[in-house]
Amino acid sequence: MLSILKPVAAVALLAGAAISATIPTFTQAQIDSGEAIRKLGQIAYDTAMARAEKATTGCTKDKVRIRKEWRNMTMADRKGFQEGITCLMKAPSRYKNIAGARSAWDDYGVLHHYETPFVHNNALFLLWHRHYNWVLETDLEQLCGYKGVFPYWEWGLDCGNLDKSPLWDGSEYSLGGNGEAVKNSRPAIGGAKPGSGGGCLKSGPFSAMKVNIGPVTSRTPLAFNPRCFKRDLNDDICRRMASIRNTTDVLLYTSTVAVFQSAIQGEGVRGDGGKTFGMGVHSGGHFAISGDPGSDFHFSALEPGFYLHHGNIDRMHFIWQNLDWEKRQTISGTGTMYNMPPSPVSVLTDNMGFEPLHRNTTLAKAMDTVGNSPFCYVYEPW
């Protein structure tokens, strides 16, 4: 029998916190098939575009960029995105005193390394990474001439068949394939089955890529440490932690930003109706890719798939916000990871650091993807 799940709207009303009444009720089959998240994505898309349609300056409807799932991009845009990243790997670093940073691509690893304790498991996680992806989009355009679609990866479409995904199949229009199979390799998360790779990337774009800095466990993580680029695709982790159901449950059963961001990051919270979220889709997406630098908490930003993974995190935030826009322009928490060391409660006027890649900005400026912000984009429902 199909179980009927109450949407977050109904649960919140029982708790006395009225939110959007437009969220439909879905069966478990609709959730697992992806029908539910497609409908939620369409509601969010329509809501955001309606705001853009009312704008007379700035992000007007005719200027909105539409971000797409990788498999919905044209082959030309897939190729252009690859070539843009390759271009950044050849462009000079903007860091003048980092021995290991040899390119503009390395800059992203350095910045993420520095900011990791201040942009994870806290109030900045969602908005900092939203802006970080946009900085890459800006670099791809301004430094490398790529003006095509900025992609995301819906993990759940590929769980169980990662090596056949158009993103990871090693074909000309992918982001490269798996790493060479390594016997007795250990999964990135204890309790999971081993991945199917683990060694140097063996095919497709980026197979000749070198990782120049890291790992974070080294004594001098920012020293020049060239090595091959590795991947270890892991279907077990993907199925357990980044399925369509995992993603949709977070959208349906989190009525506050505190619970929403904690559910994404696997912090052990309970959502509306007592819903639990396991270890979280954030870890699930990262460790479905794994490898070096993909499994490195600090330097995972040197894996090209990082930005499509975080594109999907941002897509989740975009959908969640636009399901009840008036009440979901909020943040929760402090400016340090797990509030260690203790730090003040974050407010929207707080600054986020992006120099030297880009000028710094406030949390408030990153709140809306189509409003009074530098962004002007929406996510197309797949």
Contact 153/70 with Cβ under 8 angstroms? yes
CA distance 117 to 337: 5
Please tell me the predicted confidence (pLDDT) of residue 207: 93
- Per DSSP bridges, beta strands 26-27 and 4-5 are antiparallel
Contact 188/232 with Cβ under 8 angstroms? yes
H or E, element range at 211: strand 210-211
Please give the average per-residue pLDDT across 110-138, as a whole number.
Answer: 98
The mean-pLDDT minimum among 12-21, 66-75, 124-133, 200-209 falls in 12-21
Residue 20 in this model has a pLDDT that exceeds 90: no
Please give the average per-residue pLDDT across 163-188, as a whole number.
Answer: 95
> pLDDT tens-digit profile of 193-206?
999 999 999 888 99
Which residues are registered as beta bridge partners of 276?
270
> pLDDT tens-digit profile of 218-261?
999 999 999 999 999 999 999 999 999 999 999 999 999 999 99
Radius of gyration of the chain (CA): 20
CB atoms within 10 A of CB 13: 14
The mean-pLDDT minimum among 3-7, 180-184, 266-270, 274-278 falls in 3-7
* Helices (H) then strands (E): counts for the chain: 11, 11
CB atoms within 10 A of CB 172: 11
Please give the average per-residue pLDDT across 119-133, as a whole number.
Answer: 98
- Chain length of the chain: 382
Please give the average per-residue pLDDT across 280-293, as a whole number.
Answer: 98
| 374 contact partners, CB below 8 Å, separation of at least 6 | 134, 361, 365
Please tell me the predicted confidence (pLDDT) of residue 250: 98
CB atoms within 10 A of CB 57: 6
Please tell me the predicted confidence (pLDDT) of residue 15: 31
Average pLDDT, the chain: 93
Please tell me the predicted confidence (pLDDT) of residue 242: 98
CA distance 215 to 100: 11
* pTM across the whole model: 0.94
Residue 7 in this model has a pLDDT that exceeds 70: no
| CB-neighbour burial class of residue 287 (10 A; exposed 0-12, middle 13-18, buried 19+) | buried
DSSP string, 20-40: -S-PPPEEHHHHHHTHHHHHH
**ω into residue 7 within 30 of 0, thus cis?**
no
> pLDDT tens-digit profile of 87-122?
999 999 999 999 999 999 999 999 999 999 999 999
> pLDDT tens-digit profile of 351-361?
999 999 999 99
The pair phi, psi for residue 146, each rounded to 5°, is -85, 120
CA distance 83 to 365: 30
Please tell me the predicted confidence (pLDDT) of residue 11: 34
Domain boundaries, the chain: 4-379
Residue 8 in this model has a pLDDT that exceeds 60: no
CA nearest to 107, candidates 89, 119, 122: 89
> pLDDT tens-digit profile of 289-321?
999 999 999 999 999 999 999 999 999 999 999
Per-residue DSSP letter, 132: H
CATH architecture for residues 4-379: Orthogonal Bundle (1.10)
Residue 143 in this model has a pLDDT that exceeds 60: yes
Please tell me the predicted confidence (pLDDT) of residue 22: 73
| 171 contact partners, CB below 8 Å, separation of at least 6 | 177, 204
Which residues are registered as beta bridge partners of 361?
352
pLDDT tier at 53 (50, 70, 90 boundaries)? Answer: very high
CA distance 315 to 310: 8
